[in-house]
Structure formats: structure tokens, C-alpha cells
């Protein structure tokens, strides 16, 4: 005699819920490993082609031309070689030192302006006098001390939220720049 046992009632519902939970858990793990959209952990590395196409939108007199690229959702990382080869000294690039004014005055990347990142992260309206004269499509390169300093990333995200469309982070920061013997300045002028 064989009994035909079908899961029913409460036991059947529990079994269905367990199977659905396992299925959703598996799908979440797969989705977490895939690259679906903006980065939440930190900025991605910029490719040379991305930067070339953005910088190529300058006119002959150095003025900004209308860019056709979409605004960034997250700042992108650039390394020392990219900064030196493609960004340093370019009229289309504004370098922003996110360290405090005293540290900036003791030494900064030549041509960089100071925007105190700690003040900016505490007061989102801070920095208007510095930022008001910068076009929203200007390429911004933000740096801090380098190494474990994440201030440049936080400032870059605020700048994106304020409507700047091309924001990059130089993670090596001032320490790497100085160590490489690249041009620096002292005082409160860029």
C-alpha cells in the first residue's frame, strides 16, 4: 500500500518560503559580484580614453566647449602618471587641494586651489566663493595627503552632488606628488 504524501498546509508553506529564500539569496550573491551601476565602495579608475575625450572638448583658446559625455555618478581615480601626462597644467583642469589651509600653505601641487574638505563635509554650503567661478563642466582633480586619506573622495562626491560633471580623485595625493619630485608651491596662492 503506497501513500501519496503531498506537502500541504503549514509545512508546505514553510517549504515554499525556504526555497524562495534560498533562491533570492543566491540571486543577491550573483548580483553582488556583477557590475550593475555606480560604485558604492569607492571611485573606479579612469581610463585614458575617457579622460582624453573629456579634455578634447576644449577650444583652441583653452575655453571650455560643450561636452557630449554624460556626467559622472562617482568620482574616478587617476594615478600619478595620468595626472602628469594628461592633466597637470591643462587649462581645462582645476586641481583642488582638500587639505586644511595651513597644510596647503606648507606645500601643495603647483596650480592647485585650496578647498578645506573638513569644512566642506561639515557645511555643504561652504566653498561657494571658491567654486562659484568654476564652470560645471570643468574637469576637477581633487587630492589630499594621499595614503589612507579619504577626504579627497568625500569632497569629490560633494562636488558631483553640487553639479560638477567631471570629478577625479588623485589618490597618491600630495605625499606621492612631492616624493616624485613633481612641481609644488608654498603659500596661499596656487
Active site residues: 144
Those residues whose C-beta lies under 8 Å from the C-beta of residue 127, and which sit 6 or more positions away, are 115, 116, 119, 120
Please, what's the b/e burial string for 24-56 (b: 16 or more CB within 10 A of its CB; e: otherwise)?
eeeeeeeeeeeeeeeeeeebeebeeebbeebbe
> Are 165 and 91 within 8 A, CB to CB?
no
Neighbours of 157 (CB within 10 A): 18
Q: Any idea what the Cα angle at residue 131 is, between residues 128 and 103, rounded to 5°?
A: 90
Amino acid at each position: 500500500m503506497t501513500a501519496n504524501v503531498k506537502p500541504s498546509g503549514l509545512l508546505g508553506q514553510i517549504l515554499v518560503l525556504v526555497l524562495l529564500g534560498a533562491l533570492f539569496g543566491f540571486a543577491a550573491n550573483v548580483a553582488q559580484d556583477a557590475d550593475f551601476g555606480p560604485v558604492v565602495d569607492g571611485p573606479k579608475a579612469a581610463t585614458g580614453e575617457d579622460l582624453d575625450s573629456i579634455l578634447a572638448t576644449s577650444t583652441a583658446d583653452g575655453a571650455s566647449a560643450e561636452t557630449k559625455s554624460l556626467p559622472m555618478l562617482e568620482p574616478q581615480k587617476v594615478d600619478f602618471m595620468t595626472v602628469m601626462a594628461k592633466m597637470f597644467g591643462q587649462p581645462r583642469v582645476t586641481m583642488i587641494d582638500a587639505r586644511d589651509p595651513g597644510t596647503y600653505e606648507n606645500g601643495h601641487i603647483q596650480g592647485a586651489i585650496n578647498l578645506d574638505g573638513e569644512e566642506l563635509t561639515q557645511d555643504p554650503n561652504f566653498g561657494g566663493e571658491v567654486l562659484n567661478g568654476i564652470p560645471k563642466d570643468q574637469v576637477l582633480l581633487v587630492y589630499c595627503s594621499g595614503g589612507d586619506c579619504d577626504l579627497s573622495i568625500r569632497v569629490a562626491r560633494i562636488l558631483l552632488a553640487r553639479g560638477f560633471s567631471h570629478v577625479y580623485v588623485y589618490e597618491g595625493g600630495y605625499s606621492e606628488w612631492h616624493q616624485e619630485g613633481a612641481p609644488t608651491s608654498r603659500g596661499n596662492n596656487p
